[in-house]
Chains A and B, each alone.
Chain A
Amino acid sequence: MNWTATAVALLQVLIATLVAPLVIGITRQTRARLEGRVGAGILQPWRDLRKLLRKETLQANGVSWISSIGPIVVMASSLLVAALLPLISTLTLPFVPDDLFVVVSVLLIGTVAVALIGLDVGSAFGGMGSSRHMMIAALVEPTVLVAVYALSIPAGSSLLSSIVATRLDAPAVILSPVSLLAVVALFVAVLAETGRLPVDNPSTHLELTMVHEAMILESSGRDLAWLELGSWLRLSALLGLVANLMIPWGLATDATVLALVVGTIALLLKLTVFAAALGAGEVFLAKLRLFRVPELLAGSFVLAFLAVTASYLVT
């Protein structure tokens, strides 16, 4: 059983890694089409990665080991999150339960690694991006954890597999006010954590607005490839999580081949829909001014807190 669960987790990591660039591809393509452009096709992120991995890696004089190890840490953090989350099945790894607090902390390792990479080169841009990135991460934290708390109360556990399994057994939970408020709050937090509009614009290179891009400006070659793939993977995994919280059906609850195939197909469908919806949504949004972001996050915190309150009032 333990080995099956491990094999399923590895399968999940593999699929998530293969799909992550496509999710970004779909988002960009949807956006391009809606904006009246032809777009580069959904395979373009994969082609970018291949190109980056073949290129020479440049490194500034006098940087520390953070610049070379950091991208691998970012990637490892994203892969670990993909392994832990219930993406295609609710099976959990032996001794490594998919505890939401652990997942959040693993994500933070990636967050911190990118922030340190931004500081390491010693350019003003890197520091600026790093500073903004960490401010957002700090303010997102309460929303995430209170939302987690709200989701945990009905299931009596912070294990994601139990939370999702509760939803599979009793789908009425999904539409309860507690769950709706918590999921919306979590979704806003996911947008902030993954640097999407309206918190950060992933396609900008404008000095005054960029956050994530500012930190990775000086990275090149395979470093850049890992940083990009890491952030895409993080987005796909978290989108997959939100999708499975909202539409838990299709998730494999055992390790039979059929269930896993169904689980994989369901994940692909959900991700396609969510990625397209994300791309479509971003067409209508502008990036918020940096100092308006705390207001957005405070708003999502209020939603999360209402969710907790509601969980005491509404059964």
Chain B
Amino acid sequence: MSTRTRPDHRSIAFGDWTMNPVEAALTAELLLAALACAVAAVAPASMRRYLAGIATIAMAASGIVAGGLALSGHSGGLWAPTALPTVNLTLAPDRLGGLFIVIASAVTLLAALYAIGYVHGAADSRSAWLAFILFTFGLQMVPAAGDIITFLLAWELMALGSGVLVLTDHRTRPQARSAALWYAVMTQLSFLLILAGFAALASVAGTTTFDALVTVSPTSTTGALAFTLLILGFATKAGLVPLHIWLPRAHPEAPSHASAVMSAAMVKMGVYGTLLVVLRFMPGGPAWWGIVLLSLGGISAVYGILQASVTSDVKRLLAYSTTENIGLIFLAIGASVLLASYHLTAASQAALLAALLLAISHAAFKCSLFLGAGAIVAATGERNLDRLGGLGVRMPWTAAAFGVAALGAAALPVTSGFVAEWTLFQSFIHGATRDAISVAVALPVAVAVVALTAGLALVTFVKLYGIGFLARPRSQGADDAHEVSHPMRWAALIGAGAVIALGVFPGPVAQVLASAVGIGDVATIGFGGLSLPSLGVLLDPMALAITALVCALPVVVVSALSARRHPRRATELPWGCGGARVSPRMQYTATSYAEPLMRVFDDTLRPEQDVVVTHATESRYLVAQVRYRQKLSDVIEVRGYRPLLEFVDRLGVVSRRLQNGSVHRYLTFSFVALIVVLIVVSL
């Protein structure tokens, strides 16, 4: 392993022949990104998706290598000088950065593979491909950045590329324009907050390299200010409540391969940024940081999954579920900071490990789910669950991938989501202490919040899979559905495979994750199981699965023997309440499935319901028509953002009076301003 220190002379390191592996991989990635852009720009339309797709896959593969090298402890990177004398652009990922590069690149790779079979029309245009490549390249560069300027440049590249992707279908879907506007505003807000936060840090440190920022004390006023600004900025990007508002708009409008990357990897950069703040820049933060992150995460988790559980639009549902998952990650980070501030090291480390496990698990299953959702839309032309059904028989591969990913999202054994939530609960149990009141109050509340979230996630994903893939098709589009092309189904299946692999062999995975954040106390046990020696707990999903198979064996044998004597007989409907099958529209739909929850959480969700009864002309006692309408809007949008926007609008109208075109008035303004400046200066 060769370590490279920063060169004394400022030179571009590209031409250096003694490159270390990280440098070589990053250089390859830069070149491949340039190549991919060139290919996307010049390839003929008929070949574009194959050539550009393969070039993007190559770029993502080099990203996986670069991230993997950084994750395994290789240091090194690239430097480029800028016009400013003391500022260099630095790409020098540390282990944590390496982990997030791997996540971003792996998701990009699957999405690019999927895109080969998926894109058509506007999504296959030159600009859409260029946007996709620049977006995913920026995404991989964010965790590679070693200084503030590079970080912000990569951040903007990522925002810009994804913004264009949200606009892809603007010709056919007018909603895409409004979604892109919301997204642009929120992402710029996030950028401003992060910029301000970094400025606060840099003002104390005096330089922009990440290594130098550690001089800021977390308990100082600057530390508190920087924490607040940065966390708000990153929370906006991560889609946490109440800043989540762009997620359920932008994710559904972007083409599915782009939504997969946005949801599985891009919002994860908010998590990465938060980890940078609490682990790298200002480690050992005070307890209130933990409480802030914990509450932000807890509220987002419950609100996100509650909205998801009553939403019928497949992609919107997945977007809300992203808010939930990222909320859980923030909750785990918050628990870790809180526990660390009371020196409950073992529990704090378990919580941090849980946060990382949640992050990779979410990347795997959400990627697969969004790709699966894209397959559903491509095959049926429907996004509304109420009009789907019966896809399990018609699209068996997509159904398998989607089903496994949904199990992961519902955190059932033996998937990655289960391992992550188990680790989180273990940290809660072993963090219980009566010495610190805030911990004693926060942990049980966190247990309840995570439990409620897990319960609602179960309903949500049973609904999503059960209504979408089981039963009978509820529309012609769903009835005519066929399995999608090979690249599309393989991309989704690989994602689902990762959900299972991460869930069955959590030991080695957790060890790698632990090394990324400097936790030592994680071991592999049994058949790839996870053991946390300092807490004295272990989880071996493979052994659990084997035990389950041993238990199920007699049941299978008895079933097989019975099946030999009496094979299954297919019939129209075995019982059916004594009647025959009626129209598929009489089945339960997603809306009716969520109706009990809607009633229970009526105060939070505030659905608008209208029942209009039209009477027959002959008599008021005869009903000609009953019309039922239910509209569900985001409460935070209606109660929080709408009034704010109206206020800003009014402010704009009022301030228009200041600018009436009269030169005299403008001269007065300048004069008053000058006097104010003079007064201020003379003070």
Contact = CB atoms under 8 A, between A and B. Distances in A.
A120 B471 contact: yes
A243 interface: no
Interface in B447-477: 447-448, 450-452, 454-456, 458-459, 462-463, 465-467, 469-472
B679 interface: no
Interface residues of A, number: 87
B475 to A, nearest CB: 14
A126 B589 CA distance: 12
B392 interface: yes
Interface string A120-154: 11111111101110110111111011100100110
Given A53-B558, A72-B559, A294-B600, A60 B413 contact: no
A138 B455 contact: yes
Contact of A101 (B422, B547, B568, B597): B422
B27 interface: no
Interface stretch (B154-162, B207-215, B522-530): B522-530
A141 B576 CA distance: 32
B455 A312 contact: no
Contact of B526 (A54, A95, A128, A141): A95
B440 interface: yes
A149 B559 contact: no
Interface in B405-450: 410-413, 418, 421-422, 425-426, 428-430, 432, 434, 440, 443-444, 447-448, 450
Given A93-B547, A105-B411, A142 B455 contact: yes
B566 interface: yes
B474 to A, nearest CB: 9
Contact of B462 (A97, A102, A134): A134
Contacts of B626: none
Contact of A72 (B547, B555, B596, B600): B555
Top 4 closest A-B pairs, CB basis?
A127-B588, A141-B455, A138-B455, A122-B471
B385 to A, nearest CB: 12
Given A57-B562, A134-B593, A135-B600, 17 more contacts: A56-B566, A57-B563, A57-B569, A60-B570, A66-B470, A76-B552, A76-B555, A95-B526, A102-B422, A131-B596, A135-B597, A138-B597, A146-B444, A217-B575, A217-B577, A220-B575, A290-B596
B389 interface: yes
Interface in A57-75: 57-66, 68, 72, 75
B30 interface: no
A112 B444 CA distance: 26
B595 A96 contact: no
B459 A121 contact: no
B551 A125 contact: no
Residue among B455, B556, B573, B575 with most chain A CB within 10 A: B455
A306 to B, nearest CB: 10
16 contacts: A57-B566, A57-B569, A64-B469, A72-B555, A72-B559, A102-B422, A106-B548, A108-B410, A122-B470, A123-B587, A132-B596, A135-B597, A135-B600, A149-B428, A217-B577, A308-B444
Given A72-B559, A80-B547, A122-B472, A131 B574 contact: no
Contacts of A290: 596
A123 B577 contact: yes
Chain A contact residues: over half helix, strand or loop, or mixed?
A: helix
A305 interface: yes
Given A124-B587, A131-B596, A95 B529 contact: yes
Given A116-B466, A146-B448, A130 B593 contact: yes
Given A53-B562, A60-B570, A101-B425, A226 B455 contact: no
A144 B452 CA distance: 10
A60 B471 contact: no
Contact of B425 (A115, A138, A158): A158
A137 B566 contact: no
Contacts of B568: 57-59, 68
B573 A119 contact: no
B544 interface: yes
Interface in A273-288: none
A53 to B, nearest CB: 6
A121 B555 contact: no
A146 B447 contact: yes
Contact of A312 (B434, B538, B597): B434
Nearest to A315: B434
B574 A58 contact: yes
Interface of B: 309, 389-390, 392-393, 399, 410-413, 418, 421-422, 425-426, 428-430, 432, 434, 440, 443-444, 447-448, 450-452, 454-456, 458-459, 462-463, 465-467, 469-472, 525-527, 529, 536-540, 543-544, 547-552, 555-556, 558-559, 562-563, 566, 568-577, 581, 584, 586-588, 592-597, 599-600
Contacts of A271: none
A99 B470 contact: no
Contacts of A140: 455
A140 B458 CA distance: 12
Contacts of B547: 9, 80, 83, 93, 96
A137 B558 contact: no
A102 B455 contact: no
Contact of B573 (A75, A76, A123, A139): A123
Interface string A182-224: 0000000000000000000000000000000000011111100
A302 to B, nearest CB: 11
Contact of A139 (B455, B529, B538): B455
Contact of A145 (B410, B451, B562, B599): B451
Given A72-B559, A80-B551, A145 B527 contact: no
A214 to B, nearest CB: 11
A268 interface: no
Contacts of B573: 60-61, 121, 123, 218
Nearest to A60: B573
A217 B584 CA distance: 18
B428 A80 contact: no
B409 to A, nearest CB: 12
Contacts of A66: 392, 470
